[in-house]
Amino acid sequence: MILELEKDNLQEIIDSNTNVVVQYSASWCGNCRIMKPKFKKEASAHENITFVIADAEKFPESRKLANVDNLPTFASFEQGKFKNQVQTNKYDLLKELISEVANN
């Protein structure tokens, strides 16, 4: 499942789903746009994980959950708690982050 935040409610999504992976991005971020289709591809391959796209500019409370200071940032959450993050435009690093969640 993939969701795009429409309000600053990422914590609610994390609390109501066991495994969550978030792409923090912004409309001006070229690398974010490059990674978005890859993120969506991974979402279709991992039905046991909730994938969320969060605009880091529009949703500051959601951004704080992973201490985002660079874009794109990908963060994983398990059982309602922050697990890991990677700030990257490299597909292999994104897949590693997702596999950490998928294998639990």
Instruction: Report the mean per-residue pLDDT for the chain.
Output: 96
Which fold would CATH assign to domain 2-102? Glutaredoxin (3.40.30)
What ranges do the domains of the chain cover?
A: 2-102
Query: 25-34 burial, b if ≥16 CB within 10 A, otherwise e?
Result: beeebeebee
* pLDDT tens-digit readout, 43-63: 999 999 999 999 999 999 999
The SS3 call for residue 13 is helix
Q: Match 């591809």 to its residue by tokens.
A: 41
Query: 69-87 burial, b if ≥16 CB within 10 A, otherwise e?
Result: eebbbbbbbbeeeebebeb
* Prediction pTM value: 0.96
